[in-house]
Amino acid sequence: MSKATNFKSVVVKEDQKTSLAEAGIYSMQLADGMRVVALGHVYFPHHDRKIFAKVLDYLRDTKPAVVFLLGGMVDEEVFRSLGEDKQHHLHDWPDVAEVVEAKQAGGFEDMILKLGELCGKFIESIQEAAGGKVVYIPSATHLSMSNEIRIMEWIQQTKRVRDGWSSKNPEASDLPSDPTIELPRKLEVLFNLHKHEMIRIIRYGAAVEVNEDTLFMIGDFRRRHPGGASLVEWEQRHKNIVRSFDGKVFSGYFSSPKHTLPSLQLNHWETHEVGYLWDAKKMGQLRDYDRRAQGFWTGIVVEGELFGQSVPIVRGDDNRRSFWVDGSGYIETEPNCCATGDVITVGPRKLEVYEHDDPRRPLAPPNPHADEEGEEDED
């Protein structure tokens, strides 16, 4: 071993895994006629705003007793954008309105708290539309998907680094922070939802068992084909499954033998996967594999059992998207979230003018008189 590396410390970051036995399985009892809706992988503020507005319309029309939020409700990258330079981003897209508002809030702590407040208002908008209880299961998945636990990790780690830098370099301005301000360590406090009576945030990666037979969960693995992941989950847990994370929309119904005396008796099972609701033109850190299908899940309690279906969101011939459920249709007024890109012809293209056409040209030094009476010196 080289002397240069012989005594260097090694830090191994813990990779969180989903364990329902550790995170917990919460129980909930619902009466006949109560409706339940499950959403997953929305990723505010990069959510699919137009189609999500239609989902809110559905919530207002049906007034479900419970809405389960199955992880990935907030994009961790928007928090990172408050403290990182965008010069290395693959695609140059302008910040969404919520990020712009957060960046105008003030120092690092003010920006974090403002963005957390906006995230909380987004969750509140779901509860206001539904009118019932919202149960939020934050994600701690360890694969490529964004998740809520990484938001809290990044905030606390960045805060420590900035505070250490500020205390040692009080006159420096490249990593400003206020060491006297402590940022929230709990997600519900960051989102300002800890005082909301109708919104409950439970443990990372936990699950909720409804009427002792249906498990609402996130999951932490994928399978190649639709329904494969939820079926494996059923094999392990022997409960009806409503699951997110796999990026597909699927509903499966099947039976297994219960006993044969005095005649064949069957157990009936359901497995569902809820899809995603983010803007397909954003979230570039995710793969196209994760963009398999948009959708959500809805169900109703009948004779003590919960029956439901995953609702796919599809694009029609006119490029407008829609979903049909309970005999009603919800359709976009105009096409949205279509693929970007213009037309390429075989003829000469129109040349673009850049600020520096010569890549070897050094950048000009800043002009100290640029802000004086709104004038700049010419080159």
Mean pLDDT of the chain: 86
pLDDT band per the 50, 70, 90 thresholds, residue 173: low
3 state DSSP class of 165: helix
Q: What is the DSSP string of 194-233?
A: TT-TTEEE--TT-EEEETTTEEEE--S---SSTTHHHHHH
Percent of the chain with pLDDT strictly greater than 90:
59
Pairing, β 305-315 against β 321-325:
antiparallel
Report how far Cα 274 is from the mean position of its chain's Cα atoms: 13
- Whether 11 shows a pLDDT value over 60: the answer reads no
Write down all domains in the chain, each with its CATH number in brackets. 20-355 (3.60.21.10)
pLDDT value of position 67: 98
- Whether 377 shows a pLDDT value over 50: the answer reads no
Give the mean pLDDT of 307-336. Answer: 94
Cα separation values, 327 from 35, 58, 277, Å: 15, 12, 22
C-beta separation of 80 from 108 below 8 A: no
pLDDT band per the 50, 70, 90 thresholds, residue 288: confident
Buried-exposed string 248-267: b where 16+ CB fall within 10 A, e elsewhere: bbbbbeeeeeeeeeeeeeee
pLDDT band per the 50, 70, 90 thresholds, residue 145: low
Strands (E), 81-159: 133-137
User: Structure pTM?
Assistant: 0.86
Report how far Cα 171 is from the mean position of its chain's Cα atoms: 38
Percent of the chain with pLDDT strictly greater than 70:
84
* Cα–Cα distance, 288 to 247 (Å, whole number): 10
